A and B are shown apart, each in its own frame.
Chain A
Amino acid sequence: MNKLNFLKPDKNNLYVYVYTGSALLFISIFDVFLSSFFNINVTSYLPGPVSLLLPLIIGLFGLHLIRIEFSGLKYLDLLNKNINTSNFNGALTLLIIFAIIMATPPSLSWFIFDANIAGDTKEACTGSGACWTYIKVWLRRFMYGMYPNELQWRINVSFILLIALAFVGYFSGEKLKKFLTLYYVIIYPIIAYILIYYLISGGSFGLEWVETGAWGGLSLTFIVSFFCLIFCFPIGMLLALGRRSNLPTIKYFSVGFIEFWRGVPLITVLFMSSVMFPMFLPEDFFMDKLVRVIIAISLFEAAYVAEVIRGGLQALPRGQYDAAKSLGMGYWKMHIFVILPQALKLVIPGIANTFLALVKDTPLIFVVGLMEIAGMLGLAKTNPKWLGFAMEGYVFAAIIFWIICYAMSKYSYNLELKYKTER
């Protein structure tokens, strides 16, 4: 029986088990590494299935040997507690590690080693990997759409100004702190609108007019998302309050509004905004397509934001309302100072969720002929000179969207931490 002792790792021979186990684990991972990176199969003399499963079996045995509770080694305990609690968990861990190792070489070679970036034509792409030349050539279109090349500085300038103005909050003195909310909620959007109207759209001050149909690419994604985010939030907040109002008119209007917009698909809304809506307007009344789209998306997302905020309002204990009322606060003071700050804090994750969805919904504006980044991709991939590079384009767009959304989700997480107070 003594010989079977090695099947039950214990603390007495801690280091023997740890070293043997680690060595076996290393061998199993190294074997997979060799076969996927260098195509060397060390165990090729064994029958196929055995050769395939061997790393898993060796690895599992290694994990089994190092599964020693309360070993006193910090990292070993951490490992055992989190990924090596049982044979099943150990197997899952190993399989995931193997999958990552196996997926690395092909993706690396597609992205980097076999990819091309030199040259300006399709012919420059000779490798079997990605053709980044395509992205390079089309980059301006992906960023600015059909906006004339020589005027693109106007977009750059206004975006840089807007970003700079967004950081005003960090540098304002103590005295101006209380105006910050006002600044961000009202003044900043107005500045943004003025900048975009006069600088990007042009038409006055000697700047050439560029119609919104020519705008596009990533800059359009930003413009649409920015204004929709800014508008849908306050509208959603009012709708959420309205839905809980005691006044029947306001209440049923809010309910009707929310249920209507949540019930129709965004694509229909966009289509209506560009085709149906102008029919109801007076003849000489002109509203730009982009403006109509922004209004449509804002109203659409406002309905979702409203329901998210309502969830937060309902989560607050009734005592908070009682306390605020008993201090003589009226409806608006109570909501502005007591209820909304707490409710909004609760729903930051939900709001972030809605906002991320909004940003990723913006490509849908292609149905009304506005081409933001994904729309431009659709255009570029059907260009006769550049057929066959859809993959590169979509990967590129995916990376850009991922960066935007990840930044937003990080920011929302930071907000959550910042406003965290113990209850």
Chain B
Amino acid sequence: MSVETQFPSDEPDIDPSMGEALQAHKNKVRLIHTAKIASVWIALVLILSIGLLQLRFDPGYVGEHYGFVMQGVLTTLGLSVASIAIATILALLGALGRLSHNSIAQGLAGFYVSLVRGTPLLIQIYIIYLGLPQIGTQLQSLGFAHLGKTLTLTAIQSGILALSLNYGAYMTEIFRAGIQSISHGQREAAISLGLTEWQTMRRVILPQAIRIIIPDIGNQFIAMQKDSALVSVMGVWEITYRANRFGRKDSKFMEMFILAAALYWILTIVSSWIEERLEKRLAHAYER
């Protein structure tokens, strides 16, 4: 009360109105900033388009035939979603193995990460698609008929397995870093309450680590959508395969590859957007 009387009497509401004006100004500045960024994007897309037309790029051809390549989007997405889900489980197991005090678990996880990160994804795909069945044939001749057949995965299954194994190894390190970033005090508090090591991991450490890890999983998912193009070598009709093989028909490679590139780009833009929202929601969790 005593503070208010210090203001001149003809401007009693100076505070609220000024607050609104400041807010409005701030919003306006932000809007202009966003508009400027958008216009830079539009300008760049225009320059790119003009450049493409100089390459004797035929937009009409894309207009007529985009549907065929688009049919591959679902395949690409399905492959990536299934693979990132399995990769996440593998990465969790891998990270727990690497952080474990058990020498066998540590050895297994370390070997897995080293082997998979040290070899090209394409070669892993070949080995899983063509190599595993040969092991299966050997097993079959040894009398394990069912096991032998099981090792002959379809192209899609092989692709999912290869992508999962590969990303699982990279994500193992992400998970490990995430788990290690949780302060030691959390573990101490949990075990002094009587929780076992496993309960501590499951109830206290992982739920916190996941929040740190999720943005990285999102990035891996984006990368995976593009790496999934490699499964085209097994004849899976995803985006790249369709673009490549269709482009040969009328020697319109450039058109089809640019269409494929655009589709991947759109997929990653949508994924990043979802990932950003998820990240924001996570950042505001636990703030009741």
A and B co-occur in one complex: no
Chain B residues packing against A (C-beta within 8 Å): none
